[in-house]
Chain A
Amino acid sequence: MGITSMATAIHPETGKLGFLLDVPFPSAREATIALRSLSPDREPRRGGINKHLSVSESTLSVRWSADEARILRVSVNSFLDHLSLIVETMDLFAPPVDL
C-alpha cells in the first residue's frame, strides 16, 4: 500500500483546516472492505472535526475538516494506524480466491 496523494489547506472563509488523503487498493473490493471497516465508528470528540470517507473505483479517499491542528493530527494519526491494521489483516487473511 502506498498513499498516492495528500493535500492540506486552510479554508479562506471559515479558517478550517482541511486534509485530503487518497489510498489506492489492488481492487475496488479491497477498497470497499476498508471503507466499510473504517466507517462505523464516529470521531470520539464531538465537534471540532469532520471526517468523510468515500471510494471511487479502487481508491479510498478521506477528507478531513477541523478547527484545530492538534485535533486534526490526532484523527489522521489514528486513521493511519487503523488503515495499516486493515491492510495487514487483508495481506494475512484474505482467501486466495474471491468468494
Chain B
Amino acid sequence: MTVVIGFEGSANKIGIGIIRDGEVLSNPRRTYITPPGQGFMPSDTARHHRAVILTVLKEALEQAGLKPADIDCVAYTKGPGMGAPLVTVALVARTVAQLWGKPLLGVNHCIGHIEMGRLITKANNPTVLYVSGGNTQVIAYLERRYRIFGETIDIAVGNCLDRFARVIKISNDPSPGYNIEQMAKKGTRYVQLPYTVKGMDVSFSGILSFIEEAAHKMLASGQCTAEDLCFSLQETVFAMLVETTERAMAHCGSQEVLIVGGVGCNLRLQEMMGVMCKERGAKLFATDERFCIDNGAMIAQAGWEMFRTGQVTELEDSWITQRYRTDEVEVTWRD
C-alpha cells in the first residue's frame, strides 16, 4: 500500500488530502472568500492560508485516522498559481517531509485535476476540458504527455465569470461561479455577446470588456435583468468550450470527455457538454464540487501516480513556479 498526502494552495483554496491506493481517506479544505466586488490578492490569500493550514493538516490526519509514520510521500503543488500562496503551502510540505523523514514530490496543479478526474470517474482515455479561475485548456493524452489542443489566449473562463460577478456585485460565497449558475436559471432573455473561438483557442477578455461596459446601462434601462446577463454569459462561454472540445474529440477520434477544474462543477456546462456527447455517441465524465474545485486529494493522487513510478523531488529542487504548463510534465505512469 502506498499512502500519499497532498498539499494544495495555488489560489484561494487551501486543501490537504490523503490517498491510499485510489481511496480518498480525507480531503479537508478552506476557501478564502472576499467581499462582493473584490477579487483575492496574492498576499491576503497567503495570509489566509498561513492562518489555517496547520488546522487543515491536523484535520486531514485525524479524518484519515493516520499518523505521520503511515505516510509514504509528501506531495505539494509546485505550480502553476499565485506565488505567495504557493510558497506558503510548499514551506509546510517541505518542513513536515523533513520532520517525518519522508520524500517530497512537486506536482503540476493541472495534472492533479486530470488524475483526480480519472480516478473518480474511471474515464479511461478522455479528451479533457480543464476549466477554472486560472486555466482553460482542452487536453488529450498522447505519447507520455497531456497535450494542449486548445486553450484561452487571454483570461481563463472562470476569471471571466468571477470578474463579471464583481461588476454586478454578486456574492463570492460560496463562489461567484456558483451564484452566477443559480441566477442564470432565472434568466429568460438571451443578450447577444461576442462569440470568440479562434481555431482551437478561445478568448474571454473581449466578452468581459463588452459585458463590463454594457451591464450597468442595460440594467439601469431595464433592457434586461442581472439574471438574463448571467444566463447569456454562461450560454455563450460554455458554447465556445463545447465547440472546441468537440473539435479536439473529432481530431483524436475520442469517445470520452472529462470535465475538470472549478468551473467543471457547473451543471449547465455539464448539460451542454452532455448534449454534444450524446449526438456523437460519446460518454461524458464529470465530478462534483468536492473533487472539481481545487483540493488536496488531487495533488495526492497525481503524487501517488508519480511516486509509484519512482519520482521524487529533492529539497533543493522544490522551488515553486507561477508558470508551469500541463505539457511540460512527462507522464511516466501511463502507456
Contacts and interface: CB of A to CB of B under 8 A. Distances in A.
Chain A at the B interface: SS class: helix
B99 A90 contact: yes
A89 B54 contact: yes
A81 interface: yes
Interface stretch (B177-185, B198-206, B311-319): B311-319
Given A33-B95, A33-B98, A85-B50, A93 B318 contact: no
B68 A95 contact: yes
A99 interface: yes
A13 interface: no
A74 B275 CA distance: 52
Interface residues of A, number: 23
A70 interface: no
B87 interface: yes
Contact of B94 (A36, A92, A99): A36
A40 B316 contact: yes
A5 B89 CA distance: 28
Contacts, number: 71
Interface string A80-95: 0110011011101111
Contact of B96 (A41, A82, A93, A99): A93
Interface in A20-49: 33-34, 36-42, 44
A41 B90 contact: yes
Contacts of A41: 87, 90, 319-320
20 contacts: A33-B95, A37-B98, A37-B315, A40-B315, A40-B319, A41-B90, A44-B83, A81-B46, A82-B87, A85-B92, A88-B54, A89-B91, A89-B95, A89-B99, A90-B95, A93-B57, A93-B68, A93-B95, A94-B99, A95-B99
